[in-house]
Amino acid sequence: MTNKKRIVQKILRVLCLMTLLLNHSISFAQVYGQNGMVVSSNVLASQVGVDILKKGGNAIDATVATAFALAVTHPSAGNIGGGGFLVFMNAAGEATTIDFREKAPLAATADMFLDSAGKLIEDSNHRGLKAVGVPGTVAGLYLAHQKYGKLPWQALVQPSVDLAKKGFVMSWGLYKDALEINEEEKTPDFMYSFFRNTKGEITKPGEIWKQPSLAKTLKLIRDRGQDGFYKGKTADEIENYMKMNGGIMTKKDLEKYTAVERKPVHGTYKEYEIFSMPPPSSGGVALVEMMNIIELVNLDSVKFNSTAYVHLMAEVMRRAFADRAAYIGDPDFNPEMPLDELTSKVFAKKRFDNIDMTKASVSDAALYGHPYDGNNTTHFSVVDKDGNAVSLTYTLEYAYGSQMGSNNLGFIFNNEMGDFNPVPGLTTNSGQIGSPANLIAPEKRMLSSMTPTIVAKNGKPYLIIGSPGGRTIINTVFQTVVNVLGYNMQIDKAIEVMKIHHQWLPDVLLYERHLMSPDTRTALEAMGHHLREVNSLGQLMGITYDADLKVYIGASDSSSPDGGAAGY
């Protein structure tokens, strides 16, 4: 290569990097797109999705491509070793969902995390390979594509193969994760080496990070579809890794896994229609219950962020979470769940009527609660030029899930078994729930809080929204929907403004520090609320439609270090 060529190449590389960095710095503001949009927690993955849209792919195609790309570029939560939910609305306003939640392995039992005295062995439901549920992501994306996709499957998986094989620029966000993981005492070997280059050093920001084993695993999925993961070489290696390291999942579990298409939970708020995820997520039911209650309130008289606002929202959340704990689990194991009742206007009135606007109610474990989960699921929203929309949330449960995986496969297993109720019958004031609907059983799906949601106006997708955050998801999505529908906020504002979280038990009201005034806090405490500050709640990724301008507006939460919207 001549010197001149070398210099030109160097300039091109610098320009590429600058474009990337520029993208990063502008991506938190609103992004406008007339033809399509993807908003995710990694701007490179958002761009992969938009490239698919530009090639004529529809929203489902872009979703599949983005989801696989996130498995490479956002490995704390983007995944092939976990599971999740997808809500799809076509341009005609018809909605459906795909449930690809993990399942308990065949060898799982209700008391598998208890000692001989019936006590939960601390952390056992979240640490080690027994905590791994049978992954659902590949099956879910495959089913969505088979039913509603347009472009060939291979074309949708290829970008993620390229990202894993050729690598991408290490971001500061990922680098921070890598440093933190390496400081943890119990970091498993797999995770310890995850971010390291061939010399054994953690890849630094600005350097290219490659994942060759993951590229091979993705190639098999690209070439063989679902079977490339659940059968053959990958399945053999998963079983082998599980056997060698104390797991219980087998090839039979993988072979038996299926994703399921389910009818969405449906509700209304004024002129809007809400479509969200049904059980095994509790998100949709709780969201509709809370929206029904809020519809009974004249929000003009409840100023946003006032004491009355926080009190009202917290009381609404408290009630919905008590109902969640009492009734909701995997529908295939709980055929009698009163879903119609919980989402009815009459039921909402009953719940609304006993809210005292002057003082906090008391949460009582004898009636019916989960510790606060971290911020490590991921949500993305997609819309295409025809107005088809997808809202998808998927997770490994904790950040980097179980932190375990086979070096030959290059992906991380979830620790989703921790979402089951661990001790039959034991509901505590600290928030552990023991109700029957969500006890462990073979092939059962664990209860989730993920709330991918699409709100329609005039029969067309109007707001596409979702978030990570464990149980806080339901509440941050709820507040963002109320912000847009009830308080007429623009999507970026609706995502950024103050969020709170109350989950019935523990009886604690979390709020975003710096965003609630000291006077409001004092007033709330005087009403009997138990306040606790947190740095931030939720990491919302949303799109709205501006019917006047005929344009989609996307925004990603500023709490997402690498997130961003891409539109065209």
Binder of ligand DON out of 448, 475, 503, 536 (CB under 6 A): 448
One DSSP character per residue, 258-286 reads --EEEPPEEEEETTEEEEE--TTBSHHHH
**Does residue 450 belong to the site contacting ligand DON (CB under 6 A)?**
yes
Choose, from 377, 395, 451, 476, the residue flagged as catalytic.
Answer: 377
Binder of ligand DON out of 334, 377, 438, 479 (CB under 6 A): 377
Cβ proximity of 449 and 107 under 8 Å: no
Binder of ligand DON out of 99, 102, 273, 397 (CB under 6 A): 397
Minimum CB separation of residue 129 from ligand DON in Å reads 17
Shorter beta-carbon distance to ligand DON: residue 469 or 486: 469
Tell me the per-residue interface mask from 473 to 502 with ligand DON, x by CB under 6 A, - otherwise.
Answer: x-----------------------------
Q: Please give the Cα distance from 534 to 554 (Å, whole number).
A: 26
Binder of ligand DON out of 57, 470, 486, 563 (CB under 6 A): 470
**Does residue 536 belong to the site contacting ligand DON (CB under 6 A)?**
no
Distance of CA 221 to the CA centre of its chain: 22
**Does residue 563 belong to the site contacting ligand DON (CB under 6 A)?**
no
> Strand 564-567 vs strand 551-556: parallel, antiparallel, or unpaired?
unpaired
> Strand 500-501 vs strand 551-556: parallel, antiparallel, or unpaired?
unpaired
**Does residue 395 belong to the site contacting ligand DON (CB under 6 A)?**
yes
What contacts 24+ positions apart, CB below 8 Å, involve 479-486? Answer: 479/313, 480/538, 480/540, 480/542, 481/269, 481/274, 481/287, 481/291, 481/453, 481/455, 482/291, 482/294, 482/299, 482/313, 483/304, 484/455, 484/544, 485/269, 485/270, 485/272, 485/455, 486/269, 486/294, 486/299
Minimum CB separation of residue 228 from ligand DON in Å reads 25
Instruction: Establish whether 544 is a catalytic residue.
Output: no
**Does residue 469 belong to the site contacting ligand DON (CB under 6 A)?**
yes
How many C-beta atoms lie closer than 10 Å to residue 494's C-beta? 23
> Which of 327, 324, 323 has its CA nearest to residue 335?
327
> Strand 208-209 vs strand 260-262: parallel, antiparallel, or unpaired?
unpaired
Query: In a 3-state reduction of DSSP, which class is residue 112?
Result: coil
Binder of ligand DON out of 323, 419, 492, 512 (CB under 6 A): 419
> Which of 141, 22, 43 has its CA nearest to residue 541?
43
Minimum CB separation of residue 419 from ligand DON in Å reads 5
Binder of ligand DON out of 78, 128, 140, 468 (CB under 6 A): 468
Which segment (63-71, 90-98, 224-232, 466-474) binds ligand DON by CB under 6 A?
A: 466-474
Binder of ligand DON out of 449, 475, 479, 483 (CB under 6 A): 449
Tell me the per-residue interface mask from 32 to 61 with ligand DON, x by CB under 6 A, - otherwise.
Answer: ------------------------------
Using CB under 6 A as the criterion, which residues of the chain lie in contact with ligand DON when the complex forms?
A: 373-377, 395, 397, 416, 419, 448-450, 468-470, 473
Active site positions, annotated: 377
